[in-house]
């Protein structure tokens, strides 16, 4: 999903859902709250879109899409509730000579040797498309040093690649998920990617080596949009519980109140599932949920399969996307998620 936004008038249809097993917390200078303590939705001062996080030594590090000043803003927490925005700090001060900037949707993993790899999407130096890059650091906060070339870079004719997300399987094998950004094909429809004017936006998974950087084999598609009901799918995040893979993703246009978080499940193996991921019957998060969220999306689930972060628009704003935290319950027997 993109890191900047133009003015949009939101369609505020409220869809009320229960808040079982979930507690919301707002990023930066805001007191923690729950469904009993808040009625009109959160407020906050920080724009922190496309959030992700990693837990290291009982400290949580959150990272976000560029905010116009830093390529990768960072926030830190000791309890996953109260966050300290590292004002002015950039985890990726240099996105690489191959990139012109416009850094989106990071993800951070710790690899086998104890070091850290930051995945991110950035626009190519020729401004033709976005590709997935990788950078390394000895500590989770960074700063990260970029690789000399993109890690994954499909052609501009298909839309390039965005929304990278690392995944460690139970057998120790590492993968990267990402989106082919078909709706951003030059001259294409962007979020007006309708059934009559549709570019494919598949989610692919790529095996990588223990260093998180070496591509192994070829990427496989595991999900794509239903053009009759949604313009795109994006922002993948994968977890596994008792042999069942839970794939979280967003659908709809991030500038519209129809943007949401959905999930699908598979038991056929992370690379053997093909397109057989079965979608849940209803969205997990959508506009109006519980405390009146607006266009929630970009959910990232932690490596332990319980904690999550996601974004939603600040009430009354069409430019500020706030980070929320919560917990989920993944039920392998019923293949359902409670949030």
Q: How far apart are CA 197 and CA 180, in angstroms?
A: 16
Copy the structure tokens of residue 222: 């595991």
Inter-residue contact 240 to 175 (CB < 8 Å): no
Say how far apart CA 272 and CA 39 lie, in whole Å.
44
Q: How confident is the model at residue 274 (pLDDT cuts 50, 70, 90)?
A: low
3-25: b or e for each residue (b if 16 or more CB lie within 10 Å)? Answer: bebeebebeeeeeebebeebbbb
Q: Is residue 16 part of a domain?
A: no
Lay out the sheet containing 233-241: strands in order across: 233-241, 244-251, 260-266, 278-279
Q: What's the confidence (pLDDT) of residue 331?
A: 96
* Cβ 312 vs Cβ 324: under 8 Å: yes
How far apart, in whole angstroms, are the C-alpha atoms of residue 292 and residue 303? Answer: 28
Residue-wise burial string across 185-224, b where 16 or more C-beta atoms lie within 10 A, e elsewhere: beeebebebeeeebbbbbbbbbbbeeebbeeeeebbebbb
* Residue 178: inside a domain: yes
User: CB neighbours of 74 closer than 8 A, spacing ≥ 6?
Assistant: 61, 62, 63, 85, 86, 89, 90, 91, 141, 142
Question: pLDDT: is 107 or 288 the higher one?
Answer: 107
Cα–Cα distance for residue pair 90/100, rounded to 1 Å: 16
Nearest to 323 by CA among 89, 34, 61, 64: 64
Identify whether 164 is part of a domain. yes
Q: Are 298 and 312 in contact (CB under 8 A)?
A: no
Mean pLDDT of the chain: 86
- The CATH number covering residue 42 comes to 2.115.10.20
Question: pLDDT-based confidence at 27, cuts 50/70/90?
Answer: very low
**Digit-coded pLDDT (tens) for 110-154:** 999 999 999 999 999 999 999 999 999 999 999 999 999 999 999
Q: What confidence score (pLDDT) does residue 14 get?
A: 32
3-class secondary structure, 42: coil
- Considering the candidates 50, 102, 163, 230, report the single residue annotated as catalytic: 50
Q: Cα(310)–Cα(312) distance, rounded to whole angstroms?
A: 7
Token pair 């290291």 is found at 56
Identify the pLDDT of residue 18: 33
In the chain, how many domains are there?
Answer: 1
Per-residue model confidence (pLDDT) at position 236:
98
Note whether 111 and 117 are within 8 A (CB): yes
Asked, as a colleague might, if the bond just before 312 is cis with ω within 30 of 0, I would say: no
Residue 53: inside a domain: yes
60-67: average pLDDT: 96
What pLDDT does residue 317 have?
Answer: 79
Residues 82 and 106: beta-carbon distance below 8 Å: no
d(CA 162, CA 152): 9
- Please indicate whether residue 171 is annotated as part of the active site: no
Catalytic residue among 123, 181, 234, 260: 234
Tokens encoding 195: 């059934």
Mean pLDDT computed over 253-265? 94
Specify whether 234 is catalytic: yes
Domain annotation covers residue 5:
no
pLDDT at 270: 80
Mean pLDDT for the stretch of residues 10-18: 35
Question: What six digits make up the tokens of 12?
Answer: 């505020």
- pLDDT for 24: 41
In a domain, 125, yes or no: yes
State yes or no: pLDDT of 73 exceeds 70. yes
Range of the domain at 88: 25-338
Region 266-288: mean pLDDT is 85
What backbone torsions phi and psi does residue 334 show, to the nearest 5 degrees?
Answer: -100, -5
Asked whether residue 17 is domain-assigned, the answer is no
pLDDT one-digit tens code per residue, 155-173: 999 999 999 999 999 999 9
**Of 8 and 87, the one with more pLDDT:** 87
Instruction: Tell me the pLDDT band of 206, cut-offs 50, 70 and 90.
Output: very high
Q: Give the mean pLDDT of 66-74.
A: 96
Per-residue pLDDT tens over the stretch 175-194: 999 999 999 987 778 888 87
Confidence check: pLDDT of 2 > 70:
no
- What is the predicted pLDDT for the residue at 46? 84
pLDDT tens-digit series, residues 214-246: 999 999 999 999 888 899 999 999 999 999 999
55: which DSSP letter? E
Strand partners, 203: 179, 223
Element housing 176 (H / E): strand 174-180
pLDDT above 50 for 289: yes
Residue 8 lies in a domain: no
Work out the widest C-alpha separation in the chain, in whole angstroms: 51
Quick: pLDDT tens for 300-325. Answer: 999 887 899 999 998 777 888 999 98
Distance of CA 250 to the CA centre of its chain: 8
Q: Which helix (H) or strand (E) holds 245?
A: strand 244-251
């Amino acid at each position: 999903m993109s890191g900047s936004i133009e003015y949009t008038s939101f369609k505020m249809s409220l869809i009320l859902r229960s808040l079982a097993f979930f507690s919301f917390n707002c990023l930066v200078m805001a007191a923690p709250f729950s469904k009993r303590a808040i009625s009109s939705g959160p407020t906050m001062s920080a724009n922190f879109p496309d959030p992700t996080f990693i837990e290291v030594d009982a400290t949580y590090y959150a990272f976000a899409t560029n905010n116009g000043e830093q390529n990768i803003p960072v926030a830190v927490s000791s309890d996953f509730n109260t966050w300290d925005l590292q004002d002015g700090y950039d985890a990726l001060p240099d996105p690489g000579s191959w990139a012109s900037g416009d850094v989106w949707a990071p993800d951070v993993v710790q690899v086998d040797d104890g070091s850290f790899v930051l995945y991110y999407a950035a626009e190519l130096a020729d401004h033709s498309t976005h590709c997935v890059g990788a950078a390394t650091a000895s500590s989770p906060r960074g700063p990260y040093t970029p690789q000399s070339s993109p890690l994954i870079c499909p052609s501009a004719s298909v839309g390039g690649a965005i929304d990278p997300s690392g995944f460690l399987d139970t057998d120790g094998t590492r993968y990267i998920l990402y989106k082919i950004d078909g709706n951003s094909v030059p001259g294409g429809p962007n979020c007006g990617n309708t059934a009559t004017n549709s570019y494919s936006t598949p989610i692919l998974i790529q095996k990588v080596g223990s260093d998180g950087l070496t591509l192994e084999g070829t990427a496989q598609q595991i999900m794509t949009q239903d053009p009759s009901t949604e313009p795109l799918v994006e922002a993948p995040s994968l977890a596994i519980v008792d042999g069942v893979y839970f794939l979280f993703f967003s659908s709809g246009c991030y500038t519209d109140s129809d943007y949401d978080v959905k999930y699908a499940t598979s038991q056929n193996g992370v690379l053997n599932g093909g397109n057989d991921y079965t979608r849940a019957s209803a969205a997990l998060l959508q506009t109006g949920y519980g405390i009146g969220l607006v266009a929630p999306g970009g959910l990232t689930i932690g490596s332990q399969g319980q904690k999550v972060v996601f974004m939603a628009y600040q009430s009354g704003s069409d430019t500020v996307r706030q980070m929320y935290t919560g917990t989920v319950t993944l039920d392998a027997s019923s293949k359902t998620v409670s949030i």
